Structure 1
């Protein structure tokens, strides 16, 4: 198991919204970090989806 981090920086998982709606098999996910104190809402970033071969919106999942 990973050591529990101290402080406000946490790891979050970003999942492609466009790919999920398309019904194609597989998913595009990215792992990144965010500062819980400065960014209280969920992250929404544009990232490259290798399955769809284009840049799509990725939202933070729990």
Structure 2
């Protein structure tokens, strides 16, 4: 049987502070068409930052 292409893509979320710190996560482009933005802890600054 033929397999379809992968549904999930791995994305790299960069810090809004511009420090170069990043998180990686997966996203299904069929379900989530908008740009992801998460609030997570930036370990080198020890603060909660927005990652886009």
By percentage of residues, which structure has more strand?
1
Matched, 1:54 2:47: yes
Q: How does 1:1-62 map to 2 (within 5 A)?
A: 6-17=5-16, 19-20=17-18, 26-59=19-52
TM-align CA RMSD: 1.2
SS for the counterpart of 1:40 is coil
Q: Which runs of 5+ in 2 are unaligned?
A: none
By percentage of residues, which structure has more helix?
1
Task: Give the TM-score normalised by structure 2.
Answer: 0.80
- Structure of greater relative contact order (alpha carbons < 8 Å, 6+ residues apart): 1
Runs of 4 or more consecutive aligned structure 1 residues displaced over 6 Å after TM superposition: none
Aligned length: 48
Larger Rg computed on CA atoms: 2
